[in-house]
Amino acid sequence: MLLNDSDLQAIWLTVRLASIVTAILLVVGTPIAWWLARSRSSWKGPISATVALPLVLPPSVLGFYLLLAMGPNGPVGGLTRVLGVEPLPFTFWGLVLASVFYSLPFMVQPLQNAFEAVGNRPLEVAATLGASPLDTFFTVVLPMALPGYLTASILTFAHTVGEFGVVLMIGGNIPGVTRVASVQIYDHVEALEYAQAHHMAAVMLIFSFIVLLALYAWRPSARNLLRRG
């Protein structure tokens, strides 16, 4: 068998992590993207820069500060201690929290672009028909922004799958708990198990290619759908 039980466990953990992070960011990223698309506040620039920070910040830097925040003397660590929850570093849910921050721009920016592409006209028409802002969002904006949601979900999932620096800093290397696919490949290389590393890397390479192929194939039809909407 090309992949052993440890490899399959790491792949399953990676898929689980990416799925949970994508689901969380769909909920968290939507109001942030909507506000950024509609707001004219002076805070829009700083908040946009904060959201985009993981795009340029080295993963080890982000992981280091998240580790401090989740530690016993950090704000998150203090909150978990008060709530009687186990410390988040070196746990699966610590990985989830770190990945939410690290993948945030991959969800927010496509959604923001989709919301901006909707424009004001559909919202004004819905308002004249007596629709509330909430009704307008779910019945007008959401269907028109669907291509953006699909793009954002694909990018977020794929980006989370490919994480290494942040997950290693926050989660360490615990089999079945925090050892995701990228860390498993690193372990194989460290152990000079190049054949196993090649098999795992090939799986990741094929997955990444399929994701990008689907994304680029989707974009023309997504633009047409948005125009029809």
Can you give the residue ranges of every domain in the chain? 5-228
Hey, what long-range contacts does 128-135 have (CB within 8 A, 24 or more apart)? none
Helix (H) or strand (E) holding 171: helix 165-171
Model confidence over 113-127: pLDDT tens digits?
Answer: 999 988 888 887 888
Model confidence over 154-163: pLDDT tens digits?
Answer: 889 989 998 8
Q: What is the DSSP string of 35-103?
A: HHHH---TTHHHHHHHHHHHHHS-HHHHHHHHHHHHSTTSHHHHHHHHHTPPPSTTSHHHHHHHHHHHH
What was the pLDDT predicted at 26?
96
CATH 1.10.3720.10 fits 5-228, yes or no: yes
Pick 12 or 131 by higher pLDDT.
12
pTM for the model: 0.88
